[in-house]
Chain A
Amino acid sequence: MKILIVDDSKVTRKFIGRCIRQAGLGAHDIEEAENGLEALKRVAELAPDLVVTDWNMPHMTGIDFLHQLRSSGSQVNVGFITSEGTDVMRHQAKEGGARFFITKPFTPESVRDALQQVLP
């Protein structure tokens, strides 16, 4: 299984990858992208099973990335891990087809609980 982590912060990509491993999901291949534009290319190349994305990123927000992904025909599972967690954002994410929405700071347990709903 492949998981693509999309975040402009190298630190956060590292944190998320570590949490996935600490959550007992380390057997999955973890790939990274720095922003939504790069992530669109990576999704086409890698065909990941899950994309975990930030919301607040340069060039393209996470929700715009999700909309473009769906516009391209991709139905890959997408979830958000983001610093902001307003009701409006959660609603937008759900409407866009996101499978989960985690607010930073996150723990291995919160990541595991979210990913287990998505990954087989």
Chain B
Amino acid sequence: MLPDADALTDIARNVWESTLGFAILETATNRAAFPAPHLWWAVDISGHWHGTVLLCVPEGTARHAAAVTFDRAPEQVTSTDTADIVAELTNMIGGNIKGQLGGTNKLSLPRVASAEEIARAEVAPKLWFNCPGGEFAMTVAAGSAR
């Protein structure tokens, strides 16, 4: 069974704070999308439960996170760095969600979300968080989102 919103928030907070070393604050749900550009990454869970965890991180937020991680100035961060950090955060959050699901499940490698997934996720309920460098959102789509 999919963890409830509070549990999902705790997972995101724990991953973000433990990994990047700064606190995040849940803000609202059902907000409009971010101003572009942003990075959408996904991991799929399949088995007893089937679905996709999607993370939407504005480019500025990802740049800040990568700068902290790689000890660089934000302007020195590359697109590869931002993709790598968002991919790994998505992977960790997905892995922790998988750990709370019952039964046997598999976790995919993190991947860039498809245009179709993004279109669906943009209108789906999302958990939104404020963090240093900006904000980000997370959503979990039950069933096959691809």
Contact = CB atoms under 8 A, between A and B. Distances in A.
Interface of A: 8-12, 14-15, 56-58, 82-86, 88, 103-107
B99 A103 contact: yes
A14 B88 CA distance: 12
B88 A12 contact: yes
Contacts of B69: 11, 14-15
Contacts of A86: 98-99, 104
Contacts of A103: 95-96, 99
A94 to B, nearest CB: 17
24 contacts: A9-B87, A9-B88, A9-B91, A11-B69, A11-B85, A11-B87, A56-B91, A56-B107, A57-B109, A82-B95, A83-B92, A83-B95, A83-B98, A84-B98, A85-B95, A86-B98, A86-B104, A103-B95, A103-B99, A104-B95, A105-B14, A105-B18, A105-B19, A106-B18
A12 to B, nearest CB: 5
Interface residues of B, number: 21
Nearest to A10: B84
Interface of B: 14-15, 18-19, 66, 69-70, 84-85, 87-88, 91-92, 94-96, 98-99, 104, 107, 109
Contacts, number: 57
B54 to A, nearest CB: 16
Nearest to A86: B99
Contacts of A8: 109
Contacts of B99: 84-86, 103
A80 B112 CA distance: 26
B98 A107 contact: no
